[in-house]
Amino acid sequence: GAVVSQHPSWVICKSGTSVKIECRSLDFQATTMFWYRQFPKQSLMLMATSNEGSKATYEQGVEKDKFLINHASLTLSTLTVTSAHPEDSSFYICSARTGYGYTFGSGTRLTVV
């Protein structure tokens, strides 16, 4: 079946640094990917929709300059958390539309110290 590979699975970074999270569709082309964030004991919240070759569409309240999304190819979308702060610590997860539905990556646990 369709697989989305997400890396890294976890990352610890210092406050003020930037972190890049990658999502790759391994056996299909993903023209659209979705980026979610999940705080502890809360639901997945859609952050943005990533479209290959065009600008991402951000949900209300999500800072596009802080969460940079790049979808340069049909198999790769990246989310860069710029100038990370402790309040950005969260679980970030991507999903992609496949021919069968939607497949999620395994998620990235970001801890900013």
Partner 1 sequence: DQQVKQNSPSLSVQEGRISILNCDYTNSMFDYFLWYKKYPAEGPTFLISISSIKDKNEDGRFTVFLNKSAKHLSLHIVPSQPGDSAVYFCAASRGREAGKSTFGDGTTLTVKP
**Nearest CA to 77 among 18, 33, 26, 109?**
33
Question: Residue 36 burial by CB count (10 A; 0-12/13-18/19+): exposed, middle or buried?
Answer: buried
Asked whether the CA dihedral 70, 20, 91, 39 is positive or negative, the reply is negative
- C-beta of 36 vs 67, nearer to partner 1: 36
Is residue 67 part of the contact set for partner 1 (CB under 8 A)? no
Is residue 92 part of the contact set for partner 1 (CB under 8 A)? no
Whole-angstrom Cα distance, residue 66 to residue 85? 11
Under 8 Å between Cβ of 84 and 110: yes
Q: Indicate which single residue of 65, 99, 101, 113 sits in contact with partner 1 (rule: CB under 8 A).
A: 101
Is residue 80 part of the contact set for partner 1 (CB under 8 A)? no
Is residue 102 part of the contact set for partner 1 (CB under 8 A)? yes
Q: What part of residues 13-52 is at the interface with partner 1 (CB under 8 A)?
A: 32, 34, 36, 41-46, 49
Is residue 71 part of the contact set for partner 1 (CB under 8 A)? no
Interface residues with partner 1 (CB under 8 A) are 4, 6, 9, 32, 34, 36, 41-46, 49, 93, 95-97, 101-107
